[in-house]
Chain A
């Protein structure tokens, strides 16, 4: 539904990005600050002008339209609620600007207040609301005119952790109830993983990977995506044998690992493979192919992170669940074996 492609100024804030966002989708732009995701969002809203390229909405170009001519609404990072208006006036503003009568607006405002669970707060001045409540008003205000697309610019970043978590669920619910396409911008990978139907990971103005949360976590397209989403171990090695989508990689420390490999990658030479910490297993068996020394153990409640160093000096982290059956993480200084089950490692693009 949305087909975006643009380049921005001398500084390439957004560098030839092409995205396809489906109707009724919860789509997230994820990346570190300065990666161009907010610029991209502002171009969709109409606050920035693309240097070149097109933005299509329902196959119609909207590049020449002013923000007030686009059926797209935004939830701003600082909410941007009108401080001189009440909650209801804020929510009804868009409809009023569209020329709807007061009689038409009132029931919609009521419905919106119900939707964001602020019944009865309509007459309160927005300045008297808490951060979480302001957030809800901003949402209701942007949803009230029933836009085709709702843009959310890091709307949860000003909230504290508890509130943020409950708002994440709330947003997901609102998206499902309204059926509006949500385009969500965040730098928080956890937020992106829990809410999105699909995620676009961005860095330095480019989109590196687009896919579902699972795709991106389990099959990162490159080193940046792998490192940005969750904790990851990178291991250096060389391909010994490549057969279809599986490659046998000999690590520098000597062990052979079977790793998944995407099509189109070179089938010989030096590569990096990536393994998630929770997929590695520590074996008491010191004769395993992969040997490591325990350096630190950090206790996290549900699990413990064991920091190890391989024989060739590269660091590895293993996440172990803390169970009550007596299994304990190894002692610091202990020599342990590591095993990498088939199919959990993946060969990375450079």
Chain B
């Protein structure tokens, strides 16, 4: 409908000044990030805004930095584990809560799964801190890096769940009927029809889960034990020390990683349902 209106009368939707606001919005959102990226190439060895010349040497410094490397590895381990756990659970839950007659309690299940989205991070953080502390007093077990993995998996579930669910809801159920009509058992229908069509949704959800885990700072900071320094924690620690463009280089790398996964997720979820 809207498309028709565009052709017929482009003027009717216009509100004066909105274009300007939209343009400023994008400028405001991107300017700080672009500045961080630009200054990662500044050859000055402090963070003053004066431009001293172009260099890529800060990236060499970052890549030679053992602590950065270690924290990056930890971040990847936690994020990959959390992505796997949350995506598997979210996919199963999405299959259980879409298509077909809603079962009793399905609404509550949906609310539970999306709970992490409405609890402020700080509250999640201290609650997990209290919970793991409680657990170790009662049982005497310290879960170590599993604390991070379990916590990340929990708050990644809704991020993985929502795109998968959206994809499933957009999927034509007559395709399943067609498969059943053509002698496919329920399992074969899932294996040959539902799953292949769901792959973009699952990948999109997994990509989001990965970013959310990889980028998390607040919750991780509260529950991480000594030596469990993820990349955002390491960067946080660095702000308190001497500021050099090395920090910008690290931030740029982090932004690029996020960007890669965002674009991946976006492309997968917006690809035309072929």
- In-complex A–B contact (CB below 8 Å): yes
Chain A residues in contact with chain B, CB under 8 A?
A: 45-47, 66-69, 72-74, 76, 78, 80-84, 93-94, 97-98, 125, 127, 141-142, 145
A293 and B22 CA atoms in complex are apart in Å by 69
Given A68-B183, A145-B183, A80:B188 Cβ within 8 A: no
From the candidates A69, A78, A97, A125, name the one contacting B274 in the complex (CB within 8 A): A125
Docked-complex contact A82 and B193, CB < 8 angstroms: yes
Q: Which residues of B contact A73 (CB under 8 A)?
A: 181-182
Look across to chain B and name the residue whose beta carbon is closest to the beta carbon of A69.
B183
Docked-complex contact B274 and A83, CB < 8 angstroms: yes
Docked-complex contact A94 and B174, CB < 8 angstroms: no
* Sample (13) of A-B pairs whose CB atoms are under 8 Å apart: A45-B177, A68-B182, A68-B184, A69-B183, A74-B177, A78-B172, A80-B172, A80-B178, A81-B178, A84-B197, A97-B183, A125-B274, A141-B182
From the candidates A72, A84, A94, name the one contacting B196 in the complex (CB within 8 A): A84
Docked-complex contact B182 and A145, CB < 8 angstroms: yes
Docked-complex contact B177 and A80, CB < 8 angstroms: yes
A221 and B11 CA atoms in complex are apart in Å by 58
B185 at the A/B interface (Cβ < 8 Å)?
Answer: yes
B180 at the A/B interface (Cβ < 8 Å)?
Answer: yes
Docked-complex contact A76 and B174, CB < 8 angstroms: yes
From the candidates B177, B182, B197, name the one contacting A83 in the complex (CB within 8 A): B197
Q: Which of B217-274 contact A (CB under 8 A)?
A: 273-274
A141 and B196 CA atoms in complex are apart in Å by 19
Q: Which among B172, B183, B193, B196 has the highest number of chain A CB atoms within 10 Å?
A: B183
Q: Which of B134-176 contact A (CB under 8 A)?
A: 172, 174-175
Q: Which of B80-125 contact A (CB under 8 A)?
A: none
- How many Å from the CB of A155 to the closest CB on chain B? 13
A82 and B182 CA atoms in complex are apart in Å by 12
- How many Å from the CB of B127 to the closest CB on chain A? 43
Q: Which residues of A contact B181 (CB under 8 A)?
A: 45-46, 67-68, 72-74, 142
Q: Which residues of A contact B177 (CB under 8 A)?
A: 45, 47, 67, 74, 76, 80
Do most interface residues of chain A lie in helix, strand or loop, or is the interface mixed? mixed
Q: Which residues of A contact B188 (CB under 8 A)?
A: 97
B44 at the A/B interface (Cβ < 8 Å)?
Answer: no
Q: Which residues of B contact A67 (CB under 8 A)?
A: 177, 180-181
- How many Å from the CB of A96 to the closest CB on chain B? 8
B36 at the A/B interface (Cβ < 8 Å)?
Answer: no
A97 and B172 CA atoms in complex are apart in Å by 20
Given A83-B274, A84-B274, A98:B174 Cβ within 8 A: no
A64 and B220 CA atoms in complex are apart in Å by 55
Docked-complex contact B182 and A94, CB < 8 angstroms: yes
Docked-complex contact A93 and B179, CB < 8 angstroms: yes
Docked-complex contact B196 and A76, CB < 8 angstroms: no
Q: Which of B181-206 contact A (CB under 8 A)?
A: 181-185, 188-189, 192-193, 196-197
Docked-complex contact B178 and A76, CB < 8 angstroms: yes
Q: Which residues of A contact B179 (CB under 8 A)?
A: 68, 82, 93, 97
- How many Å from the CB of A171 to the closest CB on chain B? 18
Q: Which among A46, A73, A78, A84 has the highest number of chain B CB atoms within 10 Å?
A: A84
Look across to chain A and name the residue whose beta carbon is closest to the beta carbon of B174.
A80
Q: Which residues of B contact A142 (CB under 8 A)?
A: 181-182
Q: Which residues of B contact A81 (CB under 8 A)?
A: 178
Look across to chain A and name the residue whose beta carbon is closest to the beta carbon of B184.
A97
Docked-complex contact A83 and B183, CB < 8 angstroms: no
